[in-house]
Amino acid sequence: MMSVVAFYSNHSNVELQNEWENRLKIYNPLINLVPLLSDQAEYAKTALLWKPPLERVKKLKNLQGLISLGQGVDHIIKDNIIDYEIPIVRIVDPFMAKSMSHWVVMSILNYIRDTFGYYTQQKNKIYKPRKEINFTTLKIAVYGIGAIGSVVAKDLKQLGFRVHGWSRTQKKISGINCFIGKDKFKYLLETCDIHICLLPLTIETKNIFNNSSFKIMKHGSCFINAGRGEQVVEEHLIENCKLGHISAAILDVYRKEPLPKESKLWDLKEIRIWPHVAAETNPETAAKQIANAIKHIENGKIPPNTIERKLGY
């Protein structure tokens, strides 16, 4: 029997849908992706989604499970539109974790070696050394050390950095000081030089990086966000960058995406803008686990990587 799966991505196009279908058919030739907004979606038991119109999803009467096209699920569970009884699955992909790690490592190396300063010198034909930050004295905090953050933390440790991690539940990672709780969050803000947000978006993490957070960071700290835009109060980040309290911010996510052209984030020399590409989902590496999740859902079983709805991830 044909396995009908409703498909939607905020960058939806026929080519993307076909690519996913071709990859999924390697593991189950009967999978048939149909557009979420089409009449055919009414027959779908499973939906494969990224930032979909949730009211449309809610109307699918045969739906038995949802699969996020990424690590995050906040785009599906927001406003509690989707029934609690429907399992929601997230992707946990080593390729995505390594991609994120590469992006974070690149961002930190660009920061400590002043890559963009050298770019400016090249444009002006200036040939002279620039100040390099001593990486052995830096303390790095990784906020969110789950499936992705733990890989980032370990890779940074391997490069010789002093790395600390913070999470909701206690973790054990060799060579990494792992902390939990509000007091330890404050401790890392006060004592670390580079702050990397890789947290899931929950009620507790929304607006977690605000004026209070930025003010107690060391003067001249570097802030990196590849978690979710809603975790940062952008006006407060801009204010602290203008004051020089935050010397550099590298951002991949924003409260509104695509980032509006009128956003003041574009205008600050201290801020580097990336268009939510730090760790994109790869159909080639993620298809196997998605096909397996579809099989579980259609057989009435709970798939691996099903989220705990009350936790939000």
Half-sphere exposure of 68 (CA within 13 A, CB side): 23
Q: Which CATH architecture has domain 94-273?
A: 3-Layer(aba) Sandwich (3.40)
One digit per residue, pLDDT tens: the chain, 313 residues? 799 999 999 866 899 999 999 999 999 999 999 999 999 999 999 999 999 999 999 999 999 999 999 889 999 999 899 999 999 999 999 999 999 999 999 999 999 999 999 999 999 999 999 999 999 999 999 999 999 999 999 999 999 999 999 999 999 999 999 999 999 999 999 999 999 999 999 999 999 999 999 999 999 999 999 999 999 999 999 999 999 999 999 999 999 999 999 999 999 999 999 999 999 999 999 999 999 999 999 999 999 999 999 888 8
Cα dist from 59 to 36, 41, 83, whole Å: 11, 10, 11
Query: How big is the CA angle at 148 (ends 147 and 152), to the nearest 5 degrees?
Result: 125
Q: Give the N- to C-terminal CA distance of the chain in Å, as an integer.
A: 32
pTM score over 0.85: yes
**Is residue 85 classed as helix, strand or coil in its secondary structure?**
coil
Looking at domain 3-93+281-298, which of 3.40.50.720, 2.60.40.420, 3.30.420.40, 3.40.50.261 is its CATH number?
A: 3.40.50.720
Which residues, including other chains, have CB under 8 Å from residue 86's CB and lie 6 or more apart?
63, 64, 65, 66
CB 181 within 8 A of CB 171: no
